[in-house]
Structure 1
Amino acid sequence: MDDFTLARVVHVIAILFWIGGVAFVTTVLMPSIRRSVPPAERLASFHRVEQGFAWQARLWVGIAGVSGLWMIHRADLWDRFADPRFWWMHAMVAVWSIFAAMLYVIEPLFLHRRMQLSRTPERDFARMERMHRVLLLASLVATVGAMAGAHGLI
């Protein structure tokens, strides 16, 4: 197996665990918390559970970024970013950039502290749930576009 193929395998596995985790949190965990926890306690409940998988999200997003960058470099795919037919390349980078910023910068440096001091935890939980839905949708668009584009369907 050559290094490009290995990078692609690693990339797909990282995406599987990363976006699969986002899907689980968005479609299972958050609705479960919303149904079973009083509004004022939902945010704290989410953060208690989230601590167990935040490191995994950081790991998979990091691996996806490194493997994706390696494939772009290795195959000299930089010119695709100038071609609108490869819109899905931009979509992948945009989704990755948002998650990387959230996981490596915004959450640890600002968001966790702000959430702990929240005067309106019920509103913050609802906002966080909406944001997860938007990010999951963007992730699905990027993933479908990337799979279709990589296999010549678009």
Structure 2
Amino acid sequence: MENIGAYKVSRPSLMSLLFSMIFSSGILLLNTRNNMEYNVLLYFGYIWSAFCLIVVIILLYRIITIRKFIEVRILPDSIIVENKEIQANQIDNIYVKGYFIPVIGIKPVDHKFPPYRLCFSFLDEEYKGMKELTAWAESNQIKLSKKRFMRWL
């Protein structure tokens, strides 16, 4: 198997999600503290705040531990993202979100959303990488959708 192309890519930023979770949980905690007379809303507020805290901890862990720059290699019958090889027959869809710095998400067949480890943006040769990825998806008969997508934490 010879390499078709190897590209430097970066992971999508998690900072906007982190700030929105901190902001929403802060507002919710302040709101539940001011409305102590409604027990159901109070419990819901605490449960939702605990969920937001768990998400914030996961996001902080990812920001600190996951490398920002990785390499994607496009082979004739598979794609290697970092060290994870995905065969073409295991890919259900490739999503492209955005126009200027598009984020690519590879959705495996057995997943509902693209996992975070399979989401990336091209760095240096963005046009060449997107062109090659599009040609690869066409040759392997994989659907390439240009739309917004959710990714799994």
TM-score w.r.t. length of structure 1: 0.36
Larger Rg: 2
Between Structure 1 and Structure 2, the one with more helix by share is 1
Q: RCO greater where, 1 or 2, for CA within 8 Å and sep 6 or more? A: 1
TM-score w.r.t. length of structure 2: 0.37
Between Structure 1 and Structure 2, the one with more strand by share is 2
